[in-house]
Chain A
Amino acid sequence: MTWRFGLTEATFEPLWLTHWVLAATLALPILFGLLGALFSPRRTLPVALVCVPILLTGVLLLMEYQQAGLLRWQWQVAGVTVSLRLGGVSILMLLVTQWVGAAAALYTPGHLRLTNPGKQARWLWPLMGVLISALSLIWLAADLLTLYAALELMGLAAVGMLLLSGKPAALQAGMRYLLLALVGSLAYLLGVALILGYWGQLNLQALAEVVEPGPVAWIAAALIGAGLALKAALFPLHGWLTPVHESAWTPVSALHAALVVKASLFILLMLWNILLPSSLFAPRFVAWLGMLAIVWGGLVAWRSDSLKTLVASSTVAQLGYLMVAFPLIIGPDIPPLPKALAWEGFWLQLIGHALAKAAMFMAAGNLILATGESSLKGLAGTSRRLPLSLLIFGLASVTLMGLPPSSGFTAKWLLLQAMVMTQQWVAVVALLMGTLLTAAYVFRVFRYSFDETAPRHHYQPLAPSMDLVALALALAAFALGLLAHLPLALLQGGGV
């Protein structure tokens, strides 16, 4: 199974150009972030110009990957081996990271111009750069040390970004997030300590070869799992997620919900795949929690009064879909067809949710910014005045609901097929119920927004770039359902 993560020997050595592209991929975001701190751009154009080279590096890496297949790098730095690899999942997630990051960056100037947050806005750019770099490193890292460093870097950058709005609620939520994230990494490190002590390996590929089931692997997996589940906001460890989004800036929320929680989930999936190749019950346990997450997140979103809480709680439910796929991907005796289907469904759901959730946060942010109210009731009358923002919200929710032909539909269809093949009927019921609940909370938003009775006097006009970026993301999530073969082709070995 580890070959799916690209943890195998590479056929070709990377070219010298590829080295530079890799360096640029990892370094450019930080560099441009620092430039942003210096100049604090107020227009979209310079940001767009800066995004181009970063996106270019991603495209170059993609071309390189398509030509050479798996790529590996290994360096000795002061006696420590750092290894990276570029597999199918890595390049896919790298591209998603870069494009969603670029979308968030393009959205930011308009948002900052309209909200006028003050001096601390300067810090957003370097933090965003560090976040993108750290995320890219996580997708590429092939040893536990690099993963740990990148994870910590990402966590601190994320906390920093979420704190920027400076409201007391944000500080409190950020404090909780900071403490939990730090403790979560320590739990992860504890697991790594056991692994290092027992097998003496940090390199994932070498580890996958020597690892064997036993108490050390189990306890290490439990510790790592707990720490990463906390960071990935898996039910029931998701409590910190909603307040964090409640008062954060829109582009930060979009980035965080789309990518940051997914990174921890990715590491969790990869490490459990290595440590627990023949476990049946731990993935099942996660799947049961996932079913609860689907229902719980849906219920919380359905009953929430605030638009941002609704969107954030829907993340909990959507992560539940990913959790439900765990026993189909990890474990012994899974027939190859459902395994492949679940694998594809997992990543498609992850990507589709990343795009749609980013779009949804931006649309919600636009609505809140324009109406000046963050409650659902404040949306009354927006159907006439802000049809575009509502349309984006609707398009994104189509993906979240899993209506055809969105990527959410394709992903859930793949997962459903895999579940039916392996006869996991409870998961099927949870999946369908999640769709129902999603429809319930989405239509609750629309019910309020189509209320024409409330008179409305003033709407803050929005920058066109804000709506356009969100629309592009929502459409991408929507169209991915029909173009699902493109990303799935990248997931090497995903096809049957």
Chain B
Amino acid sequence: MIASFNLIEGGLALCLCVAALACLFDRHLLRASCLFVVFALFMTLAWWWLEAPWLAVAELILGALLTGASLFYALRAYRPNGAASSHRANATPHYDSFRGSWPHGLTRALLALAWCFMMWGAIRFVMPEMVYSPAEHPLVMAAVVIAATAMGAFALHHHLLRRLLAFNILGSGVFLLLAGMAGTEEGAQALISVGLAIAWLGSLLGALLIRHLFLLEGKNALSLDSQTKEQPQ
């Protein structure tokens, strides 16, 4: 019985990881958004699995439905036949073609790794049984990986929508970690609920802003030189 539980939980964790990583590193924005909805559905399952039905419902509504809708709403700004087409003739509007420099990527990878180790180091003490059998709580493992990767991806990406996606996945990872470590007692549930609500509000605001920014300026990333106006006298 325990083995089957572990099997299901392990499968869920694997699915979550795969969905999250795919969502984080897919340059095709529409596909990435779809992947995020899939990830949110997996999250719902995970909450269900962790015996927190209310959180599952909240995740389904706030995470999958509303956040997904916000993301698609933001994506509509990039439609070729939309208002944005007058700004730039972007051949692949749903594709993030930005290429960062390799030191940039490398430092982010290293930082993400450091965070991974940091969280893992803390979890060793919070859940001592994990030291002997790391596979005991695959969801926690998955949460650590997801949170660290999402954090790194958030710092790595330039495209605003991808950063928003990374933020959402980071949030889910953190919530999962919280639930995995503290169980689903009332305090943890309250924290997660507040976090979910805030994440949705933030995503909504972010989606609105992305749309506005793209419509006003044709920008889909925060420019580096926008504030470098300090010139010598």
Contact = CB atoms under 8 A, between A and B. Distances in A.
B182 to A, nearest CB: 4
A148 B127 CA distance: 24
Given A172-B219, A179-B163, A197-B127, A300 B122 contact: no
A168 B194 contact: no
B181 A171 contact: no
Contact of B205 (A79, A144, A156, A243): A156
B189, B205, B231 — which one has the most chain A CB atoms within 10 A of its CB? B205
B106 interface: no
Contacts of A222: 118
Interface stretch (B27-35, B80-88, B207-215): B207-215
A219 B151 CA distance: 16
Interface string B189-229: 11100110011011001100110110011010011001101
A149 interface: yes
Contacts of B78: none
Interface string A145-167: 10011001000100110010000
Interface string A76-98: 00111100000000000000000
A145 B191 contact: yes
A182 to B, nearest CB: 5
A197 B230 contact: no
B13 interface: no
Contacts of B219: 172
Contacts of A185: 198
Given A145-B191, A156-B201, A174 B216 contact: no
B171 interface: yes
A219 B122 contact: yes
A215 B222 contact: no
Contacts of B119: 190, 219
B205 to A, nearest CB: 6
B177 A190 contact: yes
A159 B202 CA distance: 10
A246 to B, nearest CB: 7
Contacts of A148: 191, 194-195
A80 B226 contact: no
B160 interface: yes
B170 A183 contact: yes
A196 B154 contact: no
Interface stretch (A27-35, A303-311, A399-407, A456-464): A303-311
B174 interface: yes
Nearest to B223: A172
A271 to B, nearest CB: 15
A223 B122 CA distance: 11
Contacts of A134: none
A163 B211 CA distance: 14
A468 interface: no
A145 B181 contact: no
A175 B206 contact: yes
Given A159-B205, A189-B191, A179 B167 contact: yes
A189 B186 contact: no
Given A176-B222, A178-B202, A183-B154, A193 B186 contact: no
Given A148-B194, A189-B195, A172 B222 contact: yes
B109 interface: no
A428 B154 CA distance: 38
A70 to B, nearest CB: 24
B182 A193 contact: yes
Contact of A80 (B186, B229, B233): B186
Interface in B127-155: 127, 147, 151, 154
B186 A246 contact: no
B167 A242 contact: no
Nearest to A77: B190
- Binding site secondary structure of chain A: helix
Nearest to B178: A193
Contact of A172 (B123, B190, B195, B213): B213
A200 interface: yes
B202 A182 contact: yes
Nearest to A81: B187
Interface in A176-235: 176, 178-179, 182-183, 185-186, 189-190, 192-194, 196-198, 200, 202, 214-216, 219-220, 222-223
Nearest to B127: A197
A159 B205 CA distance: 9
A196 B198 contact: no
Contacts of B122: 194, 198, 215-216, 219-220
Contact of A306 (B118, B163, B229): B229
Contact of B230 (A145, A163, A198, A303): A303
Contacts of B127: 197
A300 B230 CA distance: 8
B177 A193 contact: yes
A24 interface: no
Contact of B167 (A186, A215, A223): A186
Contact of A190 (B147, B223, B227): B147
A179 B126 CA distance: 29
A174 B177 contact: no
Contacts of A169: 226
A8 to B, nearest CB: 22
A174 B209 contact: yes
A374 B49 CA distance: 57
B65 interface: no
Nearest to A200: B182
A223 B121 CA distance: 13
Given A182-B199, A190-B147, A246-B227, A175 B210 contact: yes
Contacts of A168: 213, 216-217
Contact of B209 (A145, A175, A194, A300): A175
Interface string A363-387: 0000000000000000000000000
B40 interface: no
9 contacts: A152-B194, A171-B216, A172-B219, A172-B223, A189-B174, A190-B174, A192-B178, A194-B126, A198-B181
Interface of B: 118-119, 121-127, 147, 151, 154, 160, 163-164, 167, 170-171, 174, 177-178, 181-182, 185-191, 194-195, 198-199, 201-202, 205-206, 209-210, 212-213, 216-217, 219, 222-223, 226-227, 229-233
Given A175-B222, A193-B182, 7 more contacts: A81-B187, A145-B194, A159-B205, A172-B219, A179-B167, A183-B170, A243-B227
